[in-house]
Amino acid sequence: MTSLIIFGIAILIGLVSFLRRSKRTSNGETNHSKGSNIHNPKILLLQIGTLNQSQLDADLTIYCDYYTNVTTKTVNNLKEFIDFISNASFDLFHLFVNIDKDGNIIDGSDKITVGKIISVIQARNAKYIFFANDSPSDSYTNGSKGLKHTTNIVMTLERKGNNFSEFFKKVFSKVSKGQTLPVAWNEIAPQIPGVEHDNTPSCMAVMGAGSVILRGDK
């Protein structure tokens, strides 16, 4: 199975789950585009060290055209990373961390499972988590077994250069105007098994907070 097929199946599963939960309107039709809104959301791009600085700078452009309250932060090591997120309150955490195939975030001799990091962030009432570094396809599933998802989580398998930033700019151009993340994603790159999208990153996604919209303020 290729990364692109993994991308298609993963996001489709999240989307179908979201659509099944969608409420029906008064005339009996399902409304897939509306959800609860967070106005003036707080967005964080966080990295350990500066090796991913160029990617962080590129990904910063995803949000800056639509949102005012966007913060970047660099910490020195995994301990500082954990200490920071344990006390941080953001609606979207966009993270640059190295994750191995067993699902561990690695920093020198220190490590922690990706599931524990997700749990910490979910406890801070975040709604979106992006893991923006390339990671093995088994990383997320092995590191988060048994985890209950209350956030929309995107885990990057392959950024494919500028495709990552350019794709999510298009997604958030819709989300910032009131579209839900899974529906905006599906409109830009319809998730049909076997259909390839050459100009998109390869990602896995779980839509635990599918109906939550981060409204733009620009």
**In the chain, where are the structural domains located?**
35-215
- Judged by DSSP in three states, 111 sits in strand
The tens digit of pLDDT for each residue in 179-213 reads 999 889 989 988 777 667 778 899 988 989 988 99
pLDDT of residue 2: 28
pLDDT at 22: 46
Condensed to tens digits (0 to 9), the pLDDT of residues 143-172 reads 999 999 999 999 999 999 999 999 999 999
Q: What is the mean pLDDT of residues 20-39?
A: 54
Q: With 50 as the cut, is the pLDDT of residue 62 above it?
A: yes
Q: How confident is the model at residue 34 (pLDDT cuts 50, 70, 90)?
A: low
pTM of the prediction? 0.86
- The angle at the Cα of 32, spanning 31 to 38, to the nearest 5 degrees, equals 105
Long-range contacts from 116-119, C-beta under 8 angstroms, 24+ separation = 117/82, 117/85, 118/144, 118/147, 118/149, 118/151, 118/153, 119/147
Note the CATH number of domain 35-215.
Answer: 3.40.50.720
Q: Look at residue 198 in the predicted model and tell me its pLDDT.
A: 75
**pLDDT score, position 195:** 67
